[in-house]
Structure 1
């Protein structure tokens, strides 16, 4: 069964990586949410995709150059013409505390490719453990060194490798990384690839799938999950798929 992960929450219709977007994902019937984490200047884990706040908020500057208190003053819904009022950048603790009252899975993407946030892995894992969400959490990153480190620190939490281009001899590589799954760009995914991965016990969860035709194809391939900005649309298509 293909699961539906709401990419940055229901980011197609709500401000991305906000509690409003995550709440909508649950209402839409998603199986899980995907979010991105970084560290503030004072070492707090915040949920935001870009390394700067410029695109998604009414502020400007680097996430790692601002304190948590400074970041909380920004409006992550500022680019939505007032439709959602003031949506602060969430702390990961806030999201995980809410998740505990739901049945949702969470994919936490560590945004540590451009900036090597020291202790991001350890702090994230500690929060997941504190909330008892080890079995409902996936850790992913384009930084595969980070994923290998997470596997060492927290073998009980699933890890997955994000990538844009096809990997050469992916099975040898994924085995060396001791990862549980792969999160490829959807254009690199074929039916044969999915079948081969699943035979080897590896999950395939392509990103980011918003067009209904591509959703239909991925459901037909039997991928383990898709990431989409439109979980409600994906849920409707999933129910139509035989």
Structure 2
């Protein structure tokens, strides 16, 4: 079972920062997960929310700001708001706390000493619509990650967005995310036979037959967000092939794979 760090090791670190991803790599994960949005000047950045109130304490909207504007913000202070009062806390490397571009994340993965897979979620709806997927595929080509055997897979709740990626880069693996079980009867008829399916953990719990139905159709399951031993046990029973977790160190330890 593949262990994938959800927005990095985000239980203990500010999500989507380079610091969170470095911590996940050091823990021994198999993969990293990120969300991407497009800035006003065309850069893909790893940010979940459309606005910056939660993670950067700013009223700005990602799609209306240039990368230079985002670089002025601290994306980590919200996680530990009392850090300035802790005299014993180690000095922080500010480069680990700023907005993270997808290019920087992929460079970090490319330079790592073992294969790391990357699950990239494109967020919709967005003012830029299909431009997000086009820019994403262009970047994957820069790294050679649009070819067979690529460590990258693209995820979305939007079937249309995944169709775009399939047209632009047919060799990239696709994951149809699913949080509403009532959508599965329609989706199972239209998604590709080799597409993966990414149901939410809570959705699987509340709909016990759903996991078996997905597996019966022959689709691998990548489940989010798996943070407890009970969550992990359910995924093992369902034959899930990848778990996406905020707590990669804990999940690796539970699986007996903590080699640190």
Q: Structure 1 length normalisation: TM-score?
A: 0.90
Q: CA RMSD in A?
A: 2.1
Q: Report the CA distance between 1:40 and its aligned residue.
A: 0.6
Taking the aligned partners of 1:110 and 1:73, their CA distance within structure 2 comes to 24
User: Structure 2, unaligned stretches of length 5 or more?
Assistant: 84-88
| Counterpart residue number, 2:145 | 133
CA 1:169 to 1:140, structure 2 compared with 1: closer, same or farther past 3 Å?
closer
The answer to whether structure 1 residue 176 and structure 2 residue 190 are counterparts is: yes
Corresponding residue for residue 153 of structure 1? 168
Q: CA deviation at 1:200?
A: 3.9
**d(CA) in 2 for partners of 1:72, 1:192:** 45
Is contact 2:228-2:251 (8 Å) kept?
no
By how many angstroms is 1:66 displaced? 0.8
Aligned equivalents of 2:43 and 2:129: distance in 1?
A: 11
Alpha-carbon deviation of 1:219?
A: 2.2
1:112 and 2:114 aligned: no
Q: Is the 8 A contact 1:38 1:117 kept in 2?
A: no
Aligned-pair CA distance for 1:46:
0.8
Instruction: Identify the match of residue 227 of structure 1 among 244, 255, 258.
Output: 244
Aligned-partner Cα distance in 2 for 1:132–1:14: 30
| Count of aligned pairs | 238
* Counterpart in the other structure of 2:36: 37
Task: Give the structure 2 partner of residue 24 of structure 1.
Answer: 23
TM-score (norm 2): 0.84
Relative distance call for 1:77 and 1:168 in structure 2 (3 A) is closer
Matched residue, 2:86:
none
The Cα shift of 1:163 comes to 1.8
Secondary structure in structure 2 of the residue aligned to 1:239? coil
> Does structure 2 retain, via aligned residues, the 8 Å contact 1:35–1:107?
yes
State the Cα distance separating 1:236 from its structure 2 match.
1.1
1:123 aligns with 2:135: yes
Larger radius of gyration: 2
Aligned-pair CA distance for 1:144: 1.5
User: Following the alignment from structure 1 to structure 2, what is the Cα–Cα distance between the partners of residues 193 and 118?
Assistant: 30
